[in-house]
Structure 1
């Protein structure tokens, strides 16, 4: 296959050393990175605004003029040139600045939003308007509402407010209230509860039928779900409390049911889907008034796709998928004109694309091989071609491919190496590719659907040039043989590395199920921090253990029922094996991680005290008993069924093992991994008479950001590492900057 080189001025040279390590040669300067530069945005990449693909060969962008007025501009994929301004905020009374927009089906109307107020990580309320492009008429839909959505015939907008569903008729501005029983911390209609939003990754829980006659929606009865409360310190005399329903592992979930509302009769019917625990997806098929409802049992290893007839409420099983461990939820369900459908599954051991008829009979497996499909982009019915992303050129890389519906004529459309992400036009005639490697910053380029590059849009050459002034070290990619597996790893050495010297080593990892940290892609903010530490004499290493992703079902699901057990064993074994290298100081090996990675770093320090002397845990899980039902039980089942799996690897149960230096960090406003995890860990260590360092960031959520917070946190972590992970423990090193 022909390899595309999308920017001739940036060359990537690959060589192999005696340790079978892939390295990239880069020129290095003399400047050293500072924390202020990292968190001040000095190394931010030049990005493309999030584009919205339109009908035909066009896309739109949300822009602003010199006065800050918002506008939606239309562009041609063929030329990348602006062809029209669809809506200009300076002409809209009371709405010169808006933060979001969405089109109706024929792109004659838009919904414009402003004044957003967050609820959880992905949900928010706002003020929304409907705008008619031809008449330039602006109509208020509602204030403090959620997820407004046009009906397919564009005559109405459905939305959620105060846990109920409403429909606004745009022709006469009348409003119909679909549900009336919505109540905070009790009943939710049309949007999801906390755990669905976080773990099933969607907020809007209603869907218009293709003929605009029905609205299918989910109803959550969380009356019996136990409440979790967090003190919000704020700046007032008395703190307030944030109280919300949070189902912890083994506890009661919200009772979720599917309902069908008829817009003509204004009647609502509850749909009987049989026995299930979750309804993680609903989607209308190509067949008239046939909804596809996905159900999942509590163990999440038995998934059903049901065909639901909106007219009479009957259901028929379309597809059943089971797994000895769990079945992942995804959005890769596409219906063709003949009602056959495309679906992805791990059933042959790797995630691949399948084609079924509307009776659930397999027509063919489209992709095959010992590699994973990592993204499904769509199906071009005229060309009978599917577009997807995969790791078939190595699990640390991502390539863009096309393949026929019959599984023939596969073609690589992007660079072979590095990370390639495609944003296709609605008609799948063009795509904008984002390509990067560990040494090449993101390059945005326009391609035809056949892979021909038409134009480089942004190349981040200025950032590449800026970094040439800094003392940068390449990431060295390799594998390390641990516990019978060849695990992916990278290592960063000081730029002036001398193999005759010994260096302290800091390991970084996340390690969660299906995740990946060892990837051939451009830097994130942590990478610059790691580079800063390397400049100051540290070796940084990262190993993806068993249980992480993109190497097949068995590799990922080996941790089932025993989260962090095998991952911890792999990190400890990797640290010991790396410490055998002559240039690594075996007495100065540390590890750090965030969230799942914080659980891991804590476990590694306690269970691997013979190799790890230092650990940092940021926002860590310390027992899966405290985490939510959907995520935890997917991998562990319930505590009632698997007490040993929960407790044998919880550091709360062996704090006496702490021998090294430990920094424990959490935000008090974390609604995901609650501060309870860290407070219980602190109490366990106190009662075991173990000294440790810790920091609590008031009202900060799981990301621990806002204002000066991130800079403060990374200064604290840097100081901790320099104090405790150093060849010369008596020498205090000053933080640069």
Structure 2
């Protein structure tokens, strides 16, 4: 064994000499942006269906422009807006059109609040008059133009305001907003994080009514974080955060009538107790609002149509599931007020068509595969466009299908990840394609045939740049674990020798409905894995039970026991990989971030005879510490399911630790609180377990900013080399001695 390993190292060094002209990937390369891809920023299809707009930025002149391009020729038609022509602003970095495209909201300055929310400085640009109007002198949230573009509504200090753009008059339409008590029209922390939206208000089609959700978070427990900053005394961030089993915001639905200057509460004809309103959306009828109501367990979702004229309500759809119902953004109203809806009710996520009363017209897509995105409906051609995994769960393709479920057509031709942005009249779509071997390419495609009309933008320069480095193929396969064929990728050293033994480093996330094994271009982490492969590691990733795009049963098997089956699969997969002749089963490690950190901790503790080391970044260490909406969706409450919470939380298994453990967290993490790591650390100390840990001051769940990411990945790389790379180091030293003797 030792002799074979020594010979393999000689072979490794010999091969390395052959590749000496090829570049080695460094952490500085990765985190300096050397491998950044080029894209199309803020792409918007113009209503005429013939043109699209893109945000461009000239670095030399520091000028922002919104440029209009012709779909057919891809030639630039004109510059619609240039910051150089607007004296009031220096530049802008985002924009949004009014529905009639007569005005544009320009974002000139913003600062983050939480993951999706920002406070910003905004201007409304009048295209015809070529002048700007500042929305507010204050930093506001979610400015939204009315459909007729005469007004803009926005949130400020937990209240809603409407500004008349011709008169400049501002009307405050709510008055009870108060920090950590009442929020009007903007979501609270947990809605923003788990239901993925911030703007909780919506204009009707006639621009004379605004529906909004009001959040009463008075009874939600507060969480506080020290902000250390650079001053002599730290400050504190205090916000409402409902942990599993604790009180949520009490939500209510309201209507502001601009003509009457009055606000009414909107009610539905059903008594709900402890519920959510995860979506509101006006129908094509300016008097009818749709609202989705969901019970706290999230296994019942009701779609209501509320007539705001006569104040009546109709329950048109009621979804139920033994586990949970996913909330989506796919509700689409057609001209006749029938609607498109997506559901997993047949075991896979598919598209359904209902009439305006909620009667099923037909199930449009069918099969043992998942619809992953809904793009829109072409009224003229009676055609729906969508994305799915019908061509294999690691791939994404764009399809068209008739409203009646016939004439399904695969529009994209190349395996990998395809996503589409359609022209307003559905004549064309801009396809973004990437794969593990091809960086993102943007092409103009025909929506009828799917054929490429022209290439718009590619990343050929990046391809050539990456080709200068030593890289390895990402090998996709499946591995049979616990009776299931699980998707897997593996990266081996470029000079891989099957007669040599390599340490194995596994990555996973494993959260419900997630996917890490996908045929798409490199993320920053992929370059890190390539760097580790350069150093002599095999890196692998396995998507176990509970992950997505393989049907509801596969995804929802983890219900009420998060961390049980997922951990079993990672341990079993590691054992199976460790049995391969070219993997050293005594040197196997695992890492993950967030849910992945929860998983890697559990895998090291419960699989202490399999894994030698683990890295956990920003991990949940007990589901009792995490928020209501996410946790209870999969676990119900701790009061109802105490064993599910405790038996699978790593904080309760620290006594099993045998290997090396690195624990990392940001002290300003508003999502997975530092509390998780602190409680884990205390548990490790009290069981007399040695470990390493690192706290990044004031950094949030992403742990980035300045030199932070580089420092973080250096720390993790050093830990991997220290715990898994010991034999590599010893053999490297042997080779140094050998070469000196020969010299």
After TM superposition, the score normalised by the length of structure 1 is 0.94
Matching residue within 12, 32, 40 for 1:40: 32
- Offset of residue 74 of structure 1: 1.3
- In structure 2, what is the equivalent of residue 283 of structure 1? 281
- In structure 2, what is the equivalent of residue 242 of structure 1? 237
Decide whether the 8 Å contact of 1:589 with 1:613 is kept in 2. Answer: yes
Decide whether the 8 Å contact of 2:190 with 2:242 is kept in 1. Answer: yes
Matched, 1:477 2:476: yes
- Offset of residue 658 of structure 1: 0.4
- Which whole-Å CA distance do the structure 2 matches of 1:464 and 1:281 have between them? 42
User: Within 5 Å, which residues of 2 pair with 1:713-724?
Assistant: 713-724=712-723
- In structure 2, what is the equivalent of residue 79 of structure 1? 73
Deviation per CA, 1:465-508: give whole Å up to 9, x if none. 22222221111111111111100001111111111111100000
Decide whether the 8 Å contact of 2:42 with 2:95 is kept in 1. Answer: no
Decide whether the 8 Å contact of 1:443 with 1:458 is kept in 2. Answer: yes
- Offset of residue 416 of structure 1: 4.3
Range moving further from structure 2, 56-65 or 467-476: 56-65
- Which whole-Å CA distance do the structure 2 matches of 1:161 and 1:593 have between them? 38
Provide the secondary structure at the position in 1 that maps to 2:597: helix
- Which whole-Å CA distance do the structure 2 matches of 1:100 and 1:526 have between them? 27
Provide the secondary structure at the position in 2 that maps to 1:144: coil
- In structure 1, what is the equivalent of residue 147 of structure 2? 152
Matched, 1:228 2:223: yes
Matching residue within 316, 320, 329 for 2:314: 316
- Offset of residue 132 of structure 1: 1.3
Range moving further from structure 2, 562-571 or 276-285: 276-285
- Offset of residue 151 of structure 1: 1.1
Deviation per CA, 1:664-689: give whole Å up to 9, x if none. 00000110001110111111000100
Decide whether the 8 Å contact of 1:722 with 1:732 is kept in 2. Answer: no
- Offset of residue 239 of structure 1: 0.5
- Which whole-Å CA distance do the structure 2 matches of 1:356 and 1:567 have between them? 37
- Offset of residue 28 of structure 1: 11
- In structure 2, what is the equivalent of residue 565 of structure 1? 564
- In structure 1, what is the equivalent of residue 248 of structure 2? 253
User: Within 5 Å, which residues of 2 pair with 1:252-401?
Assistant: 252-273=247-268, 274-275=271-272, 277-401=275-399
- Offset of residue 251 of structure 1: 0.2
- Which whole-Å CA distance do the structure 2 matches of 1:489 and 1:550 have between them? 14
Aligned CA RMSD, in angstroms, stands at 1.4
Range moving further from structure 2, 457-466 or 34-43: 457-466
- In structure 2, what is the equivalent of residue 678 of structure 1? 677
Decide whether the 8 Å contact of 1:504 with 1:727 is kept in 2. Answer: no
Provide the secondary structure at the position in 2 that maps to 1:44: coil
Relative to structure 1, the CA distance from residue 28 to residue 345 in structure 2 (aligned partners, 3 Å threshold; closer, same or farther) is farther
Matching residue within 93, 102, 106 for 1:99: 93
Matched, 1:139 2:136: no
- Which whole-Å CA distance do the structure 1 matches of 2:711 and 2:393 have between them? 35
Matched, 1:200 2:218: no
- In structure 1, what is the equivalent of residue 169 of structure 2? 174
Q: Greater share of helix residues, 1 or 2?
A: 2
How many pairs does the alignment contain? 708
Provide the secondary structure at the position in 2 that maps to 1:665: strand
Decide whether the 8 Å contact of 2:369 with 2:389 is kept in 1. Answer: yes
Decide whether the 8 Å contact of 2:481 with 2:573 is kept in 1. Answer: yes
Relative to structure 1, the CA distance from residue 505 to residue 175 in structure 2 (aligned partners, 3 Å threshold; closer, same or farther) is same
- In structure 2, what is the equivalent of residue 9 of structure 1? none
Matched, 1:124 2:118: yes
- Structure 1 stretches of 5 or more lacking a match? 1-26
Matching residue within 156, 159, 163 for 2:158: 163
- Which whole-Å CA distance do the structure 2 matches of 1:127 and 1:660 have between them? 51
User: Within 5 Å, which residues of 2 pair with 1:425-440?
Assistant: 425-440=423-438
- Which whole-Å CA distance do the structure 1 matches of 2:103 and 2:732 have between them? 60
- Offset of residue 115 of structure 1: 2.0
Decide whether the 8 Å contact of 1:393 with 1:416 is kept in 2. Answer: no
Higher relative contact order (CA 8 A, sep 6+): 1
- Which whole-Å CA distance do the structure 1 matches of 2:156 and 2:92 have between them? 20
Deviation per CA, 1:119-143: give whole Å up to 9, x if none. 1111111122222111123222212
Matched, 1:458 2:457: yes
Deviation per CA, 1:507-562: give whole Å up to 9, x if none. 00000000000011111011111011111110111000000000000000000000
- Structure 2 stretches of 5 or more lacking a match? 1-18, 734-743
Matching residue within 59, 62, 80 for 2:52: 59
- In structure 1, what is the equivalent of residue 739 of structure 2? none
- In structure 1, what is the equivalent of residue 544 of structure 2? 545
Decide whether the 8 Å contact of 1:723 with 1:732 is kept in 2. Answer: no
- In structure 2, what is the equivalent of residue 17 of structure 1? none
After TM superposition, the score normalised by the length of structure 2 is 0.94
Relative to structure 1, the CA distance from residue 689 to residue 413 in structure 2 (aligned partners, 3 Å threshold; closer, same or farther) is same
Decide whether the 8 Å contact of 1:28 with 1:471 is kept in 2. Answer: no
- Offset of residue 732 of structure 1: 9.7
- Which whole-Å CA distance do the structure 1 matches of 2:443 and 2:549 have between them? 26
Decide whether the 8 Å contact of 1:602 with 1:615 is kept in 2. Answer: yes
- In structure 1, what is the equivalent of residue 707 of structure 2? 708
- Which whole-Å CA distance do the structure 2 matches of 1:384 and 1:28 have between them? 59
- Offset of residue 372 of structure 1: 0.2
